[in-house]
Amino acid sequence: MSGPLEPALVGVATVDITPPVGSLMAGFAVRVAPSAGVHDPLLATAVAVSHGDSASVIVSADLISLDMGDAAEIGRRIAEDLGIPAGSVAVTVSHTHGGPKVKALGFGAQRDEKYVESGFAGIVNAGRRAWKARRSAWMRSGVAYLDSVAHNRRGTEVIDPTVFAIQWTDDAGAPIVTIFSHACHPVTLGPDNLSITADWPGAARRHVREAVGGEVMFVQGCCGQINTGHLATDSFSAEPAPKRTFAEADAIGARVGDGVSRALRAADPVPVVDVVATSRRVWLPTRPAPDASTLREWARAWKLEAAAKSGPRRALLEVWSEWALYWRDRPSPGGLEVPVSVHWWGGFGIVMLPGEPFVEFALDLRNALRRPDLLVMGYTGGVPGYIPLREADYAAGGYEIEMAYRSSRLFSGPYTPDAGRILYEAALDLARERVAGRPVGLRRVP
């Protein structure tokens, strides 16, 4: 006869990582002016969960992206401070396009290393403080349907209408932290915006905090081609757009916040009898760059066009020229190695993917595992570009396939059409280890 269920230990901490006014902003190649103000703070929130000898730490930061090396180093620092394996720590970002430039592997203006040092230290500090704040906690989770926020900018109707809500409560039933997710690009504000902002996830956090209390953490879903209702190329202009306002971001945040409340009303208890964290690295192939003469001609043409332009378009062309000249005399790497993680809090599964995975990753993984409650996150462990799953998306081209890769030194060309399937199969296999009941190797923590 089994004894009473033992609670997990859960801690949460939030650290302000807002950059100073005047810092360079990330998110749009056509936006070259520095930030002129702060509309709402950028936060790093960590949730640390342990049960017996096993642990899981997830840290979510209001940044557009992280280089994979930086994400790994932040995770390593947290794990080292806590005395747990690095594979037990996942570092993710909200993907706000209203935050600072923090990637070192891009082109154009370089990041502010002083801010990077302080911002990354804040993320590490959130993980450290969450671990120290652990106390007895009980978990419940629920989902709600919301189809009025996300739009597929590639012209199909496919979105992920799920709002996830996971809540940890103390022994008295009071909320410790509510974790929520809804897959949609935080690009309500466009290139004309010069105010630091967490965009709609920040607004949604405020609404959830006011509704339920306790700490709140947002984690981004698989929203590679999903945004709030405009084309990717609409962001090639710095002209104001009527729907890309702070009022709209708050309205979207309110709708998502309402979805979280509905999900919590429908939430069921989740017995957490163990905590498991697993990870692996996967090689994703990329296409080689064109030959040197082609790259030289592209760079020349883009530079000539840039010279005849001014403002946003010129900035975009200059980034593309830098990319062509960078790869002109370098061998193509053939691909890159990316991380995949799966954490389990009892029977609740969290699949964490790198890059900007297209929405089909989440839909197909839930279907294949017959787990409609499976939380599938993107933007975790670094953001190495857009990753479509369907070969048809590669064939269709478009911004995500034909242009976006030119902003990073990682890519001599886009991913090959089988890259998405390789990532998907790795994530599926890692998740199936638990679903099938096979041992996954609990890792001992102090």
User: What tokens does 66 get?
Assistant: 């992280």
**Which pLDDT belongs to residue 437?**
52
pLDDT of 55 above 70: yes
pLDDT of 359 above 60: yes
What secondary structure letter does DSSP report for 350? E
**Which pLDDT belongs to residue 436?**
59
pLDDT of 150 above 90: yes
If you write DSSP's letter for every residue of 24-61 in order, what string do you get?
-B-S-TT--SPP-EESS--EEEEEEEEETTEEEEEEEE
The residues, any chain, with a CB within 8 Å of residue 206's CB and separated by 6 or more, are 253, 257
Determine the Cα–Cα distance for residues 122 and 117; give it in Å rounded to an integer. 9
Banded model confidence at residue 444, pLDDT cuts 50, 70, 90: very low
- Of 72-81, 277-286, 318-327, 435-444, the poorest mean pLDDT is in 435-444
pLDDT of 443 above 90: no
**Which pLDDT belongs to residue 235?**
80
- Of 106-110, 209-213, 434-438, the poorest mean pLDDT is in 434-438
**What mean pLDDT, rounded, does the chain reach?**
94
**Which pLDDT belongs to residue 283?**
98
Using one digit for the tens of pLDDT, what is the confidence trace for 174-187? 999 999 999 999 99
Strand, coil or helix: 148? coil
**Which pLDDT belongs to residue 4?**
62
Mean pLDDT of 370-398: 96
Phi, psi of 414 (to 5 degrees): -70, 170
Q: What is the pTM of this model?
A: 0.94
Banded model confidence at residue 109, pLDDT cuts 50, 70, 90: confident
pLDDT of 315 above 90: no
Cβ-based neighbour number of residue 429 at 10 Å: 12
Per-residue CA distances from 432 to 281, 360, 419, 427 (Å)? 16, 18, 20, 8
**Which pLDDT belongs to residue 157?**
95
Using one digit for the tens of pLDDT, what is the confidence trace for 222-250? 999 999 998 888 887 778 888 899 999 99
Q: Where are the domains of the chain?
A: 8-281+335-435, 289-328
Using one digit for the tens of pLDDT, what is the confidence trace for 5-27? 789 999 999 999 999 999 999 99
The residues, any chain, with a CB within 8 Å of residue 348's CB and separated by 6 or more, are 139, 141, 166, 270, 272, 373, 375
- Of 357-361, 388-392, 433-437, the poorest mean pLDDT is in 433-437
**Which pLDDT belongs to residue 438?**
42
- Of 31-35, 298-302, 327-331, the poorest mean pLDDT is in 31-35
pLDDT of 313 above 90: no
pLDDT of 3 above 70: no
Mean pLDDT of 313-336: 93
**Which pLDDT belongs to residue 442?**
31
Report the length, in residues, of the chain.
446
Banded model confidence at residue 1, pLDDT cuts 50, 70, 90: very low
Measured at the CA of 225, the angle between CA 219 and CA 230, to 5 degrees, comes to 105
User: Largest Cα–Cα distance of the chain, in whole Å?
Assistant: 79
Mean pLDDT of 89-98: 98
Q: Which helix (H) or strand (E) holds 428?
A: helix 419-435
**Which pLDDT belongs to residue 440?**
37
pLDDT of 305 above 70: yes
**Which pLDDT belongs to residue 407?**
92
CB 415 within 8 A of CB 283: no
Strand, coil or helix: 264? helix
Mean pLDDT of 101-124: 94
Mean pLDDT of 77-86: 97
